[in-house]
Homo-oligomer: A and B are copies of this chain.
Amino acid sequence: MAINRKMDFQADEIALADFAKAIAHPARIAILKILAQQKSCICGEIVEGLPLAQATVSQHLKELKVIGLIKGTIEGKTSCYCIDWEVFNAFVGQFGVFAELAQNAPNQSQSCC
């Protein structure tokens, strides 16, 4: 790979790709589902709900936290996580860009497949 190719793409393309990357793993999807259900947001129970070691789950949680999809607070001895719906919905909303581009396209008919 060459040196930082990222600069060659637009900021919104990079942002959407980064969001996709953050959820591009079944474990992280599973974590979000658990948090959405709020069955519990205590870290330990998330670990129990997944077929992965504690260290691995902690790593996945960190990835989701870094990009802002989840928030985490320390409650005494335990850690507590939950979805930041504002961030989550903002990301999902970005998929609308494609439909918009399609609608504003000048030549709808020129389709070859």
- B-side contacts of A92, CB under 8 Å: 92, 95
- B-side contacts of A16, CB under 8 Å: 23, 29
Report how many copies the assembly holds.
2
**A59 located at the interface, meaning its Cβ lies under 8 Å from any Cβ of chain B in the complex:** no
Residue contact A38 to B98, C-beta cutoff 8 Å: no
**A27 located at the interface, meaning its Cβ lies under 8 Å from any Cβ of chain B in the complex:** yes
Bound Cα distance A50, B8 (Å): 8
- B-side contacts of A28, CB under 8 Å: 17
Residue contact B20 to A51, C-beta cutoff 8 Å: no
Kindly identify, within residues 20 to 48 of chain A, every residue whose CB is under 8 Å from any CB belonging to chain B. Answer: 20-21, 23-30, 32-33, 36-39, 41
Known: A9-B27, A97-B33, A101-B37. A82 touches B112 (CB 8 A): yes
